[in-house]
């Protein structure tokens, strides 16, 4: 392994790659035995690894500095290349699914690879390549628009991530002013935001029709390789959130209103959980990493090795900077079997949240790095989020080292926040189902529908007259809605699983950790519900999964009087 900054990159010769790939595919189709096909599969994986690594390097370096003209150009190249490359992989998937030796290959690799192949093969054809390129470019356009935010506030120019500390200020006037400044940016760019999304919806609908789907919903589920559940199961799951979680979150918001001493809890109050201020890490970025190093050393031998690997090879870019893309993520450089963590530290508790969250993804990636085929590096996304959200809770044992006297505050905010997120998460999901079932809706109709759905799951929400929000535009800050359609219910499904780990760890931490470790080692070798079963968790599609956790959660939250945080 070499330092991230030293990883070489040059634009790949796709003609050469394509010729090599197609030659291997011909050999695969003409192979006389399962053993020969298996050997060729590994060769195909090796050549894909080179290109996948190049694509990851470009994506990371472009998001680290969205104004870097070289990597901006390379990202544009990759946006065009991605669908063409996917078509080649699709040809491989078709051959894999139709292999006369499929039963033998399934015994070697398991059934999940073939499920992925069959579902992915339905998502692409030569006639949609140009459309897929356009879709990539529109997603990048959205990312660049948000990264371009320059908000003058408190005497300095700030990006969106830089506004977060002000939105948690103990001074209500500051919170309101920060909120208005942030949303003024979105309002000023409403036409661009509406246009990008409208183009994406219509484009995705057109792609779905060309591929034989009634609408994009079916294609979207196939893209996410959701072999275990369908839109009807998702709708039932959302009803469980409404029944079991929304009543609890409304009580939590009422408690928050009383703690803050405000007559009405508004959108700009929601981010402040305690009148005396939210918990904050008691040191800067380098200090946080040092605390994490010690935590992962004590957590397990595996986490110690993993986190030192990240630190030793510069595989994290954590601090917010101007022109840096927003958000946080984990990706992988397959050639080096190395995960990479990207985030935007801003001096709030989110810094620890995002580090432990993305470390959960990266730890899974590290533990399953030798699973043999690229499809098994990560599981489907709802399973991925179990690793990340559960790691946040496993970190509780060491959380005092980050927050000192604010330990109780952090744990109350973190646990209550896990619940408060769930209704918002399913709001996003129900909204996306509406959007793609009604692709000809106008931007105004979409926003009105968002408000209707939001009032069901988030009945407390009060926008206090901020026009952009009153009209239903808050979702336009959620990058997943633009760039990764239907990737959001995944967080909520995983949160129900992570909360089960939290309950189990209270009673028998070693047993819970053992199952978590096995889950990480499995990577993407199984489907979502198979991985849930492997980890000895209840399926979130079973109502019992809610019943089994809500008592422990309520006991913990109700057991802390609000006066404790004064």
List, for residues 202-229, the tens digit of each pLDDT value.
999 999 999 999 999 999 999 999 999 9
The model's confidence at residue 230, banded by pLDDT at 50, 70 and 90, is very high
**Per-residue model confidence as pLDDT tens digits over 50-72:** 999 999 999 999 999 999 999 99
Per-position b or e across 241-262, b if 16+ CB within 10 A of its CB: beebbbebbeebbebbbebbee
The answer to whether the beta carbons of residues 248 and 550 sit under 8 Å apart is yes
> What pLDDT was estimated at residue 566?
66
Q: Which residues does residue 153 pair with via DSSP β-bridges, in sequence order?
A: 156
Q: What is the 3-state secondary structure (H, E, C) of 183-243?
A: HHHHHHCHHHHHHHHHHHHHHHHHHHHHCCCCCHHHHHHHHCCCCCCCHHHHHHHHHHHHH
State the pLDDT at residue 1: 86
Is the predicted pLDDT of residue 565 greater than 90, yes or no? no
Asked whether 28 and 91 are in contact (CB, 8 A), the reply is no
Distance CA 366, CA 316 (A): 14
Could you read off the pLDDT of 424-483 as tens digits, one per residue? Answer: 999 999 999 999 999 999 999 999 999 999 999 999 999 999 999 999 999 999 999 999
pLDDT digits (tens, 9 = 90+) for 489-505: 999 999 999 999 999 99
Question: Domains of the chain: which residue ranges?
Answer: 4-121
Q: Residue 552 is encoded by which pair of tokens? A: 């422990």
Query: What's the CA gap between 215 and 347, in Å, rounded?
Result: 43
As given in the structure block, the two tokens for residue 514 are 């053992």
- pTM beyond cutoff 0.85: yes
Q: What angle do CA 486, 487, 493 make, to 5 degrees?
A: 105
Q: What is the mean pLDDT of residues 84-102?
A: 95
CB 379 within 8 Å of CB 528: yes
How large a percentage of the chain has pLDDT more than 70?
Answer: 100
């Amino acid at each position: 392994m070499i330092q991230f900054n030293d990883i070489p990159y040059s634009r790949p010769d796709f003609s050469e790659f394509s010729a090599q790939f197609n030659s291997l595919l011909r050999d695969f189709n003409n192979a006389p035995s399962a053993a020969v096909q298996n050997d060729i599969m590994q060769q195909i994986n090796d050549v894909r690894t080179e290109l996948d690594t190049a694509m990851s390097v470009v994506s990371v370096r472009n998001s680290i500095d969205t104004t870097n003209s070289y990597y901006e150009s390379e990202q544009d190249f990759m946006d065009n290349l991605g669908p063409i490359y996917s078509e080649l992989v699709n040809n491989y998937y078709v051959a894999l699914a139709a292999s006369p030796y499929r039963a033998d290959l399934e015994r070697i690799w398991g059934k999940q690879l073939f499920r992925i192949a069959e579902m992915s093969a339905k998502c692409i054809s030569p006639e949609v390549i140009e459309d897929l390129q356009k879709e990539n470019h529109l997603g990048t356009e959205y990312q660049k628009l948000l990264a371009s935010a320059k908000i003058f506030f408190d005497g300095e120019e700030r990006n969106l991530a830089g506004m977060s500390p002000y939105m948690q200020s103990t001074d209500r006037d500051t919170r309101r002013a920060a909120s208005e400044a942030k949303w003024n940016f979105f309002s000023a760019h409403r036409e661009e935001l509406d246009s990008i999304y409208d183009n994406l919806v219509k484009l995705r609908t057109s792609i779905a029709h060309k591929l034989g789907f009634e609408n994009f919903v079916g294609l979207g589920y196939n893209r996410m390789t959701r072999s275990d559940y369908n839109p009807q199961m998702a709708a039932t799951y959302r009803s469980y959130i409404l029944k079991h979680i929304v009543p609890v979150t409304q009580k939590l918001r009422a408690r928050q209103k009383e703690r803050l001493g405000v007559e009405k809890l508004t959108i700009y109050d929601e981010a402040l959980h305690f009148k005396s201020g939210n918990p904050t890490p008691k040191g800067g970025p380098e200090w946080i990493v040092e605390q994490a190093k010690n935590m992962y050393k004590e957590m397990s031998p595996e986490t110690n090795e993993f986190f030192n690997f990240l630190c030793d090879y510069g595989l994290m870019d954590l601090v917010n900077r101007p022109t840096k893309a927003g958000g946080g993520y984990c990706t992988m450089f397959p050639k080096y079997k190395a995960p990479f963590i990207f985030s935007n530290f801003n001096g709030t508790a989110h810094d620890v949240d995002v580090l432990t969250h993305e470390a959960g993804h990266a730890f899974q990636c590290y533990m399953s790095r030798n699973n043999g085929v690229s499809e098994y590096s990560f599981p489907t996304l709802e399973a991925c989020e179990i690793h990340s959200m559960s790691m946040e809770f496993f970190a509780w044992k060491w959380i005092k080292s980050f927050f000192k006297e604010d330990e109780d505050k952090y744990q109350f905010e973190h646990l209550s926040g896990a619940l408060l997120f769930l209704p918002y998460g399913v709001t996003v999901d129900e909204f996306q189902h509406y959007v793609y079932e009604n692709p000809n809706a106008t931007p105004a109709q979409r926003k009105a529908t968002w408000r209707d759905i939001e009032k069901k799951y988030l009945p407390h929400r009060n926008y206090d007259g901020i026009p952009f929000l009153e009209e239903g535009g808050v979702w336009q800050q959620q990058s997943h809605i633009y760039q990764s359609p239907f990737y959001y219910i995944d967080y909520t499904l995983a949160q129900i699983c992570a909360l089960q780990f939290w309950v189990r760890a209270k009673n028998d931490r070693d047993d819970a950790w053992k199952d978590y470790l096995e889950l990480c080692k499995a990577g993407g070798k199984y489907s979502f519900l198979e991985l849930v079963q492997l980890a000895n968790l209840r399926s979130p599609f079973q109502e019992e999964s809610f019943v089994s956790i809500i008592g422990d959660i309520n006991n913990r939250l109700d057991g802390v009087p609000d006066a404790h945080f004064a």
